[in-house]
């Protein structure tokens, strides 16, 4: 049978479906040439003893698990997943299904929560921080410093509004790194801070859903990959199907659709509805196109950099 051990004295297999039994059932008739070692699989012909199965700083995928179990490897040394504690902010945010017109459903929490399996982090949802919760947020940071959590992420309250208290609270702590606002669209108000002497970070994402999604993809994910010792992601290069104009000094993350032609070329179309409040175009998209600063006009036929929205480009070579 398939997978069986070859009995001593034999060196070749003929599949039973490739033979004809003689009428007396004592002989078989073969109408094709048989080569020595046909259908024989030698031990060690796939992986040899001492051979490296997978290299250090590799993201373990299901195909690696297949190899480990086949080879009898029971344990491997891995880095722990990053622990993220997430807070939405604002009196207008609600977890309820039925809400008045002035409120907003808490979509950002559920979006980021459902990325956790693809981007190697553990997700824990905190309470919604209301407009007067400055002291509560300060307490959360103090707990972060002493806990097993690695990152606090907030959504909203990082811009210049009356109740945007996240940056002011964060700056009261001793920090080794800090920045507020970046020359990007969407997501300009983003904030980042690192607690001095600790491997603890705080990200303040904009509350706008698409701004929050873009900042998580292009700031939080690279931070996580770096913390795990993984190499920088490589972009997918694609041919632009339509032109796009932007401000020269800003980097743009644009919702787009990747496709292939019959002759194997990879094309990408920048979708309509790039405003950061438009979710419909995000649902239609399957790729982020990154348009760097230093150039304002992108023309049809230009080669652009693309990144998957819901999984890492890490395994691209």
Q: Which residues, including other chains, have CB under 8 Å from residue 77's CB and lie 6 or more apart?
A: none
Q: What is the pLDDT of residue 317?
A: 64
Pairing of strands 184-185, 236-240: unpaired
CA angle 226, 227, 228 (to 5 degrees): 90
- Domains of the chain, start order: 82-227 (3.40.980.10), 236-307 (2.40.340.10)
Query: What residues of the chain score a pLDDT lower than 50?
Result: none
CA-CA distance, 142 to 25, in Å (whole number)?
82
Q: What are phi and psi of 127, to 5 degrees?
A: -70, 165
Q: What is the pLDDT of residue 36?
A: 95
* Cβ(203)–Cβ(191) below 8 Å: yes
Q: Counting Cβ atoms within 10 Å, is residue 4 exposed (0-12), middle (13-18) or buried (19+)?
A: exposed
Neighbours of 90 (CB within 10 A): 21
Q: State pTM to two decimals.
A: 0.87
Pick from 67, 138, 309: nearest CA to 209: 309
Structure-token pair, residue 274: 């790039």
pLDDT in tens, 31-48: 888 999 999 999 888 999
Report CA dihedral (112, 115, 120, 126) to the nearest 10 degrees: 30
Could you write out the DSSP letters of every residue in the chain? -TTPPPPTT------GGG-EE-TTSS-EE--S---TTTT---TTSSS-TT--SS-TT----HHHHHHHHHHT------PPPEEEEEEEB-TTEE--SS--TT-EE-HHHHHHHTTTTTTTEEEEE-PPBPTT-HHHHHHHHHHHHHSS--EEEEES--SSSTT--HHHHHTTS-EEEEEE--SEES-TT-EEEEETTSS-EEEEE-SSHHHHHHHIIIIIHHHHHHHTTPPPP-PEEEEESS-EE--TTSEEEEEEEEEE-TTS-EEEEEPS--STT--HHHHH--EEEEE-TT--EE-TT-EEEEE-SSS-STT--
pLDDT in tens, 213-240: 999 999 999 999 999 988 889 999 999 9
């Amino acid at each position: 049978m398939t997978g069986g051990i070859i009995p001593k004295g034999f060196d070749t297999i003929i599949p039973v479906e490739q033979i004809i039994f003689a009428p007396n059932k004592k002989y078989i008739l073969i109408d094709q040439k048989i080569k020595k070692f046909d259908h024989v699989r030698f031990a060690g012909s796939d992986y040899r003893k001492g051979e490296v199965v997978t290299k250090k700083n590799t993201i373990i995928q299901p195909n690696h698990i297949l190899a480990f179990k086949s080879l009898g490897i029971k344990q491997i040394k891995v880095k722990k997943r990053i622990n993220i504690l997430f807070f939405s902010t604002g009196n207008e945010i609600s977890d309820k299904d039925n809400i008045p017109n002035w409120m907003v459903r808490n979509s950002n929490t559920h979006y980021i929560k459902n990325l956790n399996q693809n981007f190697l982090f553990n997700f824990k949802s905190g309470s919604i921080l209301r407009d007067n919760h400055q002291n509560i947020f300060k307490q959360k940071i103090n707990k972060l410093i002493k806990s097993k959590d690695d990152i606090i992420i907030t959504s909203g309250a990082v811009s210049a509004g009356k109740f945007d208290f996240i940056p002011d609270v964060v700056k009261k702590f001793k920090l080794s790194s800090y920045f507020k606002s970046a020359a990007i669209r969407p997501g300009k108000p983003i904030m980042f801070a690192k607690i001095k002497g600790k491997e603890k970070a705080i990200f303040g994402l904009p509350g706008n859903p698409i701004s929050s999604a873009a900042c998580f993809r292009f700031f939080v994910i690279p931070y996580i990959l770096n913390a795990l010792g993984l190499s920088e992601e490589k972009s997918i290069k694609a041919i632009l199907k339509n032109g796009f104009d932007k401000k020269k000094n800003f980097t743009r993350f644009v919702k787009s659709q990747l496709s292939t032609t019959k002759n194997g070329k990879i094309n990408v179309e920048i979708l309509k509805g790039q405003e950061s409040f438009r979710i419909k175009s995000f649902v239609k998209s399957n790729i982020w196109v990154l348009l760097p600063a230093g150039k304002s006009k992108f023309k049809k036929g230009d080669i652009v950099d693309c990144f998957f929205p819901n999984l890492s480009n890490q395994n691209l070579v």
